[in-house]
Structure 1
Amino acid sequence: MARVASNPLSLPRFRPYFQVSDTALLFKSPSLSPYRTRKFQSIACQTNPLPTQTQPSDEGKVLAEPDSVDDSTSEATTSSVGGGFSESPNKNINRRIAIGSTLAAVGLFTSSRLDFGVSLKDLSAAAVPYEEALSNGKPIVVEFYADWCEVCRELAPDIYKVEQQYRDRVNFVMLNVDNTKWEQELDEFGVEGIPHFAFLDKDGNEEGNVVGRLPRKYLQENVDALARGEASVPHARVVGQYSSAESRKVHQVVDPRSHV
C-alpha cells in the first residue's frame, strides 16, 4: 500500500481523467461566454445552410430591383413629358379627327347648299322642257318666275327639296316671265304675280294654283296629290306675298327651244 501511495509516477496516469473538470470550467469561465454566445447566435440565426453564397445574390437582387424601378419610372416620366402617348396612337387620333372634320365640312356644305345655295338658275337648268312635260304622261308642276323676283329666290331651296323627292313621278317646269316665248302661257294660266305654281294632271289639265310665298307643305301636299293620281289638289287657290308680273323685263327669245 505504501508503495503504491508513494509512487510519484502513478499520478500522471490519472491526469487525463481530470480534464473533465477543465471542461466544466469552460462553462463557468466568463471569458469564454462570448464564444458560447457567438456560437449559439450563429446557430439561431442560420436559416440558410450557405449564407455566404446566397446572400450576395440576394443583395444583388435588392439592388437590381430599385434600378429597374428607376428605369421604368424614368421611361414613364420621359413618355409623359414627351406627350403622354406613343407616336402611333397620336397619328390614329389625328387621322380620325381629320376625317371627322372633313365629313362635318362636307355635311355643312351640303346642308348650306340645300338651304341657302340653290339658285333659280340651278332649278331652271334641271327643269324639264315644257313641250316634253306635256307629252311624257306625267303630272306637271309649272313655275312662272323671274330672276329679279325676291320671293322666287327665297322659295328656291324649298322647291329644290320637293323636286328631289318627286322628280321620278312628276315633271317640274320653269318658265321665265321675262321671256316673250311664254306670253300665251301667261295669259292661259292668268299669271299676275310670281312665283306662280300651276298644278297639271297627266293630261295637262290644271287642278289648281298657288301664288306667292307660302309654307313648303302647301307645295309638297299638292305635288304628292299629283304623284298619287288624285283628281284634285288640297290647295287649289292660295295666294301669298308675291311680286307683280307687271314688273317683268321682257326680252326677245334667243333660242326658240329655250324654256327659260
Structure 2
Amino acid sequence: MSRVASSPLGLHRFGLCYRNLQSLVLVRGNTSSLSFIRRKSRRLLGVACQTNPNPIEEASTTEKSPIEPSSPDDSSKQAVSSSSPDRLPQLPNKDLNKKIAAVSAIAAVGLFLSTRLDLGVSLKDLSATALPYEEALSNGKPTVVEFYADWCEVCRELAPDIYKVEQQYKDSVNFVMLNVDNTKWEQELDEFGVEGIPHFAFLDKEGNEEGNVVGRLPRQYLLENVAALARGESSVPHARVVGQYSSTEARRVHQVVDPRSHG
C-alpha cells in the first residue's frame, strides 16, 4: 500500500481496477462477492494494479555499486597527498635561536677581550718590570737587552710578543730594556752597535754578546734565541737577523732624572 501511496499513477490504476470489479459484481447481482473483493483489494493492489510489476528489478537498479578495494598504488597516492607541500617543515624554536645567538656573542666578546689583553701590553709596562742593567750583569743569568724608544712604532707592535716570551722564561733569563732617548746609555749604544730599534742583544752568563736581532721579525726568532740562552748554549740559532726597524737617528735625547732609571 505504501508503494501505491507514493505513486499517484498507482492510485489511479487501483481506482480503475476496483471500480471495474465492483461494477461487474453489481451487474451480476452478487453482493457477497463485493465484500470479498474489498478484503482482497490490498492483494490486488500489489499484483493487479501496481505501477511496476517487477519491483525486484527496480530495487536492483537503485542499489549502489560495490566499493572496489583500493590498490597499493592508491594507498601510496593517498600517502603522497597527505604530505601536501602546504605543510612546511617545523621551524627551529625561537628560544633555541636566542641561546645560539647568546653563545656566539659571548664567544666573540671573549675573543675580543683576549686580543685586547695582548694589545694592552705597552712598552711602559715592559720597562716597569724589566731588571736594571747593572743587576742583570751581576746575577749570573743570561740576559736579553732590548734597546727601544716610546715613539718607535715597531717597538710598540712587538711588545705583546716580548711579554709572552718574558713570562715563559723570566725565572731563568734576565730581561732588560734600555731607552735610546736616555743619554745614560750612549756607551751601550756604541758598544752593541745600535743603529735601528728595536734591537735585541743576547748575552750569556758572563755578559758576552752571542748575537742580536733587529727590527720586526716573527716571534719564533726571539723565542728560539731565548730558549738557547736558558739552556746555557754557547750560541743562539739567530745570531744576526735584521727586519724592518726604526732608525736611531730620530732619537729624542733627554737628560737622566733618576740615575737608577733604566728607561
Whether the TM-score (by the shorter chain) exceeds 0.5 is yes
What secondary structure sits across from 1:229 in the alignment?
A: coil
User: Is 2:121 the partner of 1:118?
Assistant: yes
User: Is 2:229 the partner of 1:218?
Assistant: no
Q: Which has the higher helix share?
A: 1
User: Is 2:169 the partner of 1:166?
Assistant: yes
Shift of 1:118: 1.0
Normalised TM-score (structure 1):
0.59
d(CA) in 1 for partners of 2:111 and 2:124? 23
Instruction: Tell me which of 113, 127, 142 is aligned to 1:109.
Output: 113
Tell me what 1:20 maps to.
none
Tell me what 1:22 maps to.
none
Structure 1 runs not aligned, ≥5 long: 1-84, 86-93
d(CA) in 2 for partners of 1:132 and 1:107? 38
Structure 2 runs not aligned, ≥5 long: 1-94
d(CA) in 2 for partners of 1:106 and 1:169? 32
Tell me what 2:144 maps to.
141
d(CA) in 2 for partners of 1:188 and 1:242? 19
Q: How many residues are aligned here?
A: 166
The runs of at least 4 consecutive aligned structure 1 residues that moved more than 3 Å come to 103-108
Tell me what 2:194 maps to.
191
User: Is 2:242 the partner of 1:252?
Assistant: no
1:20-169 maps to which residues of 2 (within 5 A)? 101=106, 108-114=112-118, 116-169=119-172
Tell me what 2:91 maps to.
none
- Deviations 1:154-175, CA, capped at 9 Å, x for gaps: 1111111111111111000000
Tell me what 2:231 maps to.
228
State the one-letter code of the partner of 1:113. L
Identity %: 80
Shift of 1:110: 3.8
d(CA) in 2 for partners of 1:108 and 1:166? 27
What secondary structure sits across from 2:210 in the alignment?
A: strand
- Measured on the aligned residues, the alpha-carbon RMSD in Å equals 2.2
Normalised TM-score (structure 2):
0.59
d(CA) in 2 for partners of 1:202 and 1:214? 25
d(CA) in 2 for partners of 1:141 and 1:236? 13
d(CA) in 1 for partners of 2:217 and 2:148? 15
Shift of 1:121: 0.6
State the one-letter code of the partner of 2:113. F
